[in-house]
């Protein structure tokens, strides 16, 4: 798109000044989308190889859904949601995450009765946070949910899928898997008392947020990033010591499977996750390469959520991969080089050549559906068209002029081929020779 024309300039300006995107919401421009699609193709291939199916969900849900699932005393619901009243006075929210909407949809369509489901979705999420590197107000998550399985084998499957992705993407040395077990609600209640007693004894040392959480959501204190709190948190009782035998067995089952499959992990007893619905397994894939926004992918088990939202009791586990953070990790990967420039740029000068060029280009696309071919539009001299061909990044220019199309009529079509990235000479060939050349050069 031309941004230099008068009209474009006028369009971009409102009477009050320059029109800009909403803070924290970004355009993904055409020099980035190829990397997004290359990464997405690898991610989707991985999902398919484990039998996961795609589900597409609305970006807006009733506010109540998020309050009832994520929890009232969480960062997301307390301060990060984009909530508004629509014209009929109903409170709606731009989805801050995907699990709640996914579970809502499955209950609504009656898909959870005794079924095992393996699902994924990819799309924008919205959170009103302070924008910074790796933290945006509109960002993208690839979410995966496995429903109907209660054992640790499916927890291991999700982690193996993650590990396979990271290896395929060449990131296995850049991420670390951290694991914890949150136990059951009953176990967390007992632990919570011990934790509150501990923090009460040190109340003077708590920051403001943590003091508020002491009554509302004390486990979240463990998640505090406040530097002054770290020593205190280090000394707090550990949830792992409060787990019952069943929870321990689940966790042991998971770690044994990960060890059998040679997936490296570290235990992080302070990993609690920011959403209320998690139980038993929680995990995060963390990197040190993205500064403070180090969690690339995070998830866990949520065995009570479906029932809590009015569905049949259904064990479930899932995770969300933060696409912007993944893409940032891939910035210097070979995947980033696979730019989608045209392979061929067709130059055509004169009315006859324009007509013949149109027909030739359509024939080429019939024969080579994967050929990236740009046809020059808008006329102009050979010189100006060559300039455009060069700028396009194409490897070859095809040339059609009066000489090649035989303006005097009768003679068969000939085409000039000029290599644009080497010093090799231009040659002139028949249409059949051109087809052979393209076949050999790009498709054999």
Taking alpha carbons only, the member of 319, 77, 328, 76 closest to residue 178 is: 319
Q: What is the DSSP code (8-state) at residue 369? A: T
Minimum Å gap between C-beta 119 and ligand ATP is 16
**Which tokens go with 263?**
């997936």
Query: C-alpha angle with apex 300: 290 to 94, nearest 5 degrees?
Result: 70
Cβ contact 214:195 at 8 Å: no
- Residue 24 or 350: which CB sits closer to ligand ATP? 24
- Residue 131 or 406: which CB sits closer to ligand ATP? 131
At 265 the three-state DSSP class reads coil
Q: What are the beta bridge partners of residue 266?
A: 178
Alpha helices (H) along 90-144: 99-108
**Which tokens go with 313?**
């009791």
- Residue 303 or 324: which CB sits closer to ligand ATP? 324
Minimum Å gap between C-beta 338 and ligand ATP is 24
- Residue 55 or 194: which CB sits closer to ligand ATP? 55
- Residue 149 or 325: which CB sits closer to ligand ATP? 325
Give the binding site for ligand ATP (CB under 6 A).
97, 127, 129, 134-136, 139, 141, 274, 293, 295-298, 320, 322, 324-325
Taking alpha carbons only, the member of 411, 409, 410, 368 closest to residue 398 is: 368
Minimum Å gap between C-beta 69 and ligand ATP is 12
Buried b (16+ CB within 10 A) or exposed e, 229-247: beebeeebeebbebbeeeb
Minimum Å gap between C-beta 214 and ligand ATP is 20
Minimum Å gap between C-beta 70 and ligand ATP is 9
At 412 the three-state DSSP class reads coil
Minimum Å gap between C-beta 318 and ligand ATP is 10
* Residue nearest ligand ATP (C-beta atom): 322
- Residue 297 or 405: which CB sits closer to ligand ATP? 297
- Residue 16 or 130: which CB sits closer to ligand ATP? 130
Query: C-alpha angle with apex 399: 394 to 400, nearest 5 degrees?
Result: 145
Minimum Å gap between C-beta 122 and ligand ATP is 12
Q: How many residues does the chain have?
A: 444
Cβ contact 306:68 at 8 Å: no
């Amino acid at each position: 798109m031309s941004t230099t024309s008068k009209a474009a300039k006028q369009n971009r300006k409102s009477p009050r000044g320059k029109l800009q995107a909403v803070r924290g919401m970004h355009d993904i421009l055409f020099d980035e989308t190829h990397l997004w699609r290359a990464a997405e193709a690898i991610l989707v291939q991985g999902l398919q190889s484990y039998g996961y199916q795609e589900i597409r969900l609305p970006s807006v849900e009733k506010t109540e859904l998020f309050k009832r699932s994520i929890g009232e005393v969480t960062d997301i619901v307390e301060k990060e949601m984009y909530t508004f009243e629509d014209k009929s006075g109903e409170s709606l929210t731009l989805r801050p995450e995907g699990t709640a909407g996914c579970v809502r949809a499955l209950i609504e369509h009656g898909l959870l009765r005794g079924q095992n489901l393996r699902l994924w979705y990819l799309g924008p999420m919205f959170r009103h946070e302070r924008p910074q590197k790796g933290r945006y107000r509109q960002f993208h998550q690839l979410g995966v949910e496995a429903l109907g399985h209660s054992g640790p084998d499916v927890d291991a499957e999700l982690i193996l899928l993650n590990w396979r992705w990271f290896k395929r993407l060449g990131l296995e040395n850049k991420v670390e898997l951290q694991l914890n077990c949150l136990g059951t609600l009953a176990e967390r209640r007992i632990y919570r008392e011990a934790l509150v007693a501990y923090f009460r004894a040190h109340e003077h040392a708590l920051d403001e947020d943590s003091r508020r959480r002491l009554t509302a959501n004390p486990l979240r204190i463990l998640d505090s990033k406040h530097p002054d709190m770290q020593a205190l948190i280090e000394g707090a009782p550990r949830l792992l010591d409060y787990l019952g035998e069943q929870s321990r067995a689940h966790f042991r089952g998971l770690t044994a499977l990960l060890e059998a499959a040679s997936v490296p992990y570290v235990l992080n007893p302070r990993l609690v996750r920011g959403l209320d619905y998690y139980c038993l397994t929680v995990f995060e894939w963390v990197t040190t390469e993205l500064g403070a926004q180090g969690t690339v992918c995070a998830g866990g088990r949520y065995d009570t959520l479906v029932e809590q939202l009015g569905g049949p009791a259904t064990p479930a586990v899932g995770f969300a991969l933060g696409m912007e953070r993944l893409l940032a990790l891939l910035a210097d990967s070979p995947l980033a080089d696979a730019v989608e420039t045209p392979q061929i740029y067709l130059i055509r000068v004169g009315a006859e050549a324009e007509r013949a060029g149109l027909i030739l280009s359509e024939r080429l696309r019939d024969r080579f559906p994967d050929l990236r071919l740009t046809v020059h539009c808008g006329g102009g001299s050979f010189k100006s068209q060559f300039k455009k061909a060069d700028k396009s990044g194409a490897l070859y220019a095809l040339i059609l002029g009066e000489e090649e199309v035989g303006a005097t009529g009768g003679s068969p079509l000939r085409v000039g081929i000029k290599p644009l990235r080497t010093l090799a000479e231009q040659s002139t060939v028949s249409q059949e020779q051109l087809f052979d050349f393209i076949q050999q050069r790009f498709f054999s």
